[in-house]
Amino acid sequence: MADSSSGDPATESRLTPQLTAAGRPATVTVDAINEHGAAVQACIPGEHPLTLYLDKREIVTLMTLGAAPESLVLGYLRNQRLVARLDDIAAVQVDWETDSAAVTTRSGNADVGQRLQRRTVTSGCGQGTMFGDLMESLDEIDLPDDVRLDAATLAALLDNVRRQDSIYKAAGAVHGCALAASDGEILMFVEDVGRHNAVDAIAGQMWLKNMRGGDKLFYTTGRLTSEMVIKTAQMGIPFMISRSGLTGMGHAIARKIGLTVIGRATGKHYLLFSGEHRFEYDGAPAKAGSPA
Amino acid sequence: MADSSSGDPATESRLTPQLTAAGRPATVTVDAINEHGAAVQACIPGEHPLTLYLDKREIVTLMTLGAAPESLVLGYLRNQRLVARLDDIAAVQVDWETDSAAVTTRSGNADVGQRLQRRTVTSGCGQGTMFGDLMESLDEIDLPDDVRLDAATLAALLDNVRRQDSIYKAAGAVHGCALAASDGEILMFVEDVGRHNAVDAIAGQMWLKNMRGGDKLFYTTGRLTSEMVIKTAQMGIPFMISRSGLTGMGHAIARKIGLTVIGRATGKHYLLFSGEHRFEYDGAPAKAGSPA
Contact A227 B44 (CB under 8 A): no
What Rg value do the Cα atoms of chain A yield, rounded? 19
Interface test with A, best of B31, B51, B59, B125 (most A CBs within 10 A): B125
CA distance A243 to A240: 10
Domains of chain B: 4-138 (3.10.20.10), 149-285 (3.40.140.10)
Backbone angles phi, psi at A48, to 5 degrees: -135, 140
Q: What is the pLDDT of residues B213-257, one digit of tens each?
A: 999 999 998 889 888 999 999 999 999 999 999 999 999 999 999
Contact A59 B120 (CB under 8 A): yes
Interface test with B, best of A247, A249, A266, A281 (most B CBs within 10 A): A247
Average pLDDT over residues B265-282: 92
CA distance A123 to B196: 11
Average pLDDT over residues B174-192: 94
Q: Identify residue A251 by its one-letter amino acid code.
A: H
CA atoms within 13 A on the CB side of A198: 27
Q: What is the pLDDT of residue B157?
A: 96
Q: What is the pLDDT of residue B136?
A: 66
Range 52-71 of A in CB contact (< 8 A) with B: 58-64
Q: What is the pLDDT of residue A106?
A: 93
Outline where chain A has alpha helix (H). 69-79, 113-117, 151-163, 167-171, 195-208, 226-234, 248-257
Distance from CA of B86 to the nearest CA of A (A): 22
| C-beta separation of B91 from B19 below 8 A | yes
CA atoms within 13 A on the CB side of A249: 21
Average pLDDT over residues B150-159: 95
For residue B263, give Cα distances in angstroms to A39, A116, B122, B218: 15, 37, 23, 12
Q: What is the pLDDT of residue A217?
A: 98
Q: What is the pLDDT of residues A250-290, one digit of tens each?
A: 999 999 999 999 999 987 899 999 999 999 987 566 654 44
Contact B44 A287 (CB under 8 A): no
CA distance B27 to A212: 35
Q: What is the pLDDT of residues B20-46, one digit of tens each?
A: 999 998 899 999 999 999 999 999 999
Q: What is the pLDDT of residue A193?
A: 85
User: Residue ranges of chain A with pLDDT lower than 70?
Assistant: 1-13, 113-136, 283-292
CB-based contact, B267 to chain A, within 8 Å: no
Q: What is the pLDDT of residue A257?
A: 94
Distance from CA of A215 to the nearest CA of B (A): 22
DSSP chain B: ---GGGSSS--------EE------SEEEEEEEETTS-EEEEEEE--EEEEEEETTEEEEEEEE--SSHHHHHHHHHHHTTSSS-GGGEEEEEEETTTTEEEEEESSS----HHHHHTTTB--TTTTB-B-S-GGGGGGG----SS--EEHHHHHHHHHHHHHS--HHHHH-S-EEEEEEETTS-EEEEEEESSHHHHHHHHHHHHHHTT--STTEEEEESS-B-HHHHHHHHHTT--EEEESS-B-HHHHHHHHHHT-EEEES--SS--EEEE-GGGEEETTEESSTT---
Distance from CA of B209 to the nearest CA of A (A): 24
Distance from CA of B58 to the nearest CA of A (A): 8
Distance of alpha carbon B270 from the chain centroid: 21
Q: What is the pLDDT of residue A116?
A: 60
Contact B60 A244 (CB under 8 A): no
Q: What is the pLDDT of residue A127?
A: 41
Distance of alpha carbon A292 from the chain centroid: 24
Average pLDDT over residues B172-187: 91
Q: What residues contact B108, with CB distance under 8 A and at least 6 apart?
A: B55
Nearest to B32 among A63, A124, A271 (CB): A271
Q: What is the pLDDT of residue B133?
A: 55
CB-based contact, A148 to chain B, within 8 Å: no
Q: What is the pLDDT of residue A165?
A: 82
Q: What is the pLDDT of residue B134?
A: 61
**Mean pLDDT, all residues of chain B:** 85
* Nearest-Cα residue of chain A relative to residue B197: A126
Beta strand A175-181 with A149-150 is unpaired
CB-based contact, A122 to chain B, within 8 Å: yes
Distance from CA of A165 to the nearest CA of B (A): 18
Nearest to B173 among A125, A193, A247 (CB): A247
Contact B37 A172 (CB under 8 A): no
Q: What is the pLDDT of residue B119?
A: 45
Residue A5 DSSP class = G
Range 154-183 of A in CB contact (< 8 A) with B: 171-174
Q: What is the pLDDT of residue B12?
A: 54
Q: What residues contact A204, with CB distance under 8 A and at least 6 apart?
A: A68, A70, A71, A72, A73, A74, A75, A76, A78
Nearest to A47 among B120, B250, B279 (CB): B250
CA distance A50 to B121: 9
How many CB atoms within 10 Å of residue A274? 29
Bridge-partner residues for B274, per DSSP? B261
ipTM above 0.85, yes or no: no
Q: What residues contact B146, with CB distance under 8 A and at least 6 apart?
A: none
- Range of weakest confidence among A47-51, B122-126, B202-206, B281-285: B122-126
CA atoms within 13 A on the CB side of B11: 8
Q: What is the pLDDT of residue B118?
A: 44
Contact A286 B33 (CB under 8 A): yes
Q: Strand, helix or coil at A199? A: helix
Distance from CA of B253 to the nearest CA of A (A): 11
Range 204-263 of A in CB contact (< 8 A) with B: 223-227, 244-251, 263
Cα angle B276, B282, B286 (rounded to 5 degrees) comes to 20
